Chains A and B, each alone.
Chain A
Amino acid sequence: GNSVTQMEGPVTLSEEAFLTINCTYTATGYPSLFWYVQYPGEGLQLLLKATKADDKGSNKGFEATYRKETTSFHLEKGSVQVSDSAVYFCALSDDQGDTGRRALTFGSGTRLQVQP
Chain B
Amino acid sequence: GAGVSQSPSNKVTEKGKDVELRCDPISGHTALYWYRQSLGQGLEFLIYFQGNSAPDKSGLPSDRFSAERTGGSVSTLTIQRTQQEDSAVYLCASSLTPGQGAGELFFGEGSRLTVL
Chain A residues within CB distance 8 Å of chain B: 4, 32, 34, 36, 41-46, 49, 51, 89, 93, 95-96, 99-109
Contact = CB atoms under 8 A, between A and B. Distances in A.
Contacts of A104: 33, 43, 45, 103, 105
Nearest to B3: A43
| Interface bracket on B | 20 to 34
Contacts of B91: 43-44
A30 to B, nearest CB: 12
Contacts of A51: 102
Interface of B: 3-4, 31, 33, 35, 40-43, 45, 48, 50, 53, 56, 91, 93, 95, 98-99, 102-110
A98 to B, nearest CB: 11
Contacts of A107: 42
Given A32-B103, A49-B104, A108-B41, A102 B109 contact: no
Nearest to A49: B102
Contacts, number: 69
Contacts of A4: 42
Nearest to B38: A108
Contact of A99 (B35, B56, B109): B56
22 contacts: A4-B42, A34-B103, A43-B109, A44-B43, A44-B91, A46-B104, A46-B105, A49-B102, A49-B103, A49-B104, A51-B102, A93-B102, A96-B56, A99-B50, A100-B98, A102-B95, A102-B98, A102-B102, A103-B33, A103-B48, A106-B35, A109-B42
B107 A43 contact: yes
Q: Which of A44, A49, A51, A95 has the most CB of B within 10 A?
A: A44
Contacts of B35: 106
Given A34-B104, A99-B53, A104-B103, 10 more contacts: A44-B43, A44-B107, A89-B42, A93-B102, A95-B99, A100-B99, A102-B95, A103-B45, A106-B35, A106-B42
Given A89-B43, A108-B40, A108-B42, A43 B102 contact: no
Contact of B43 (A46, A93, A101, A106): A106
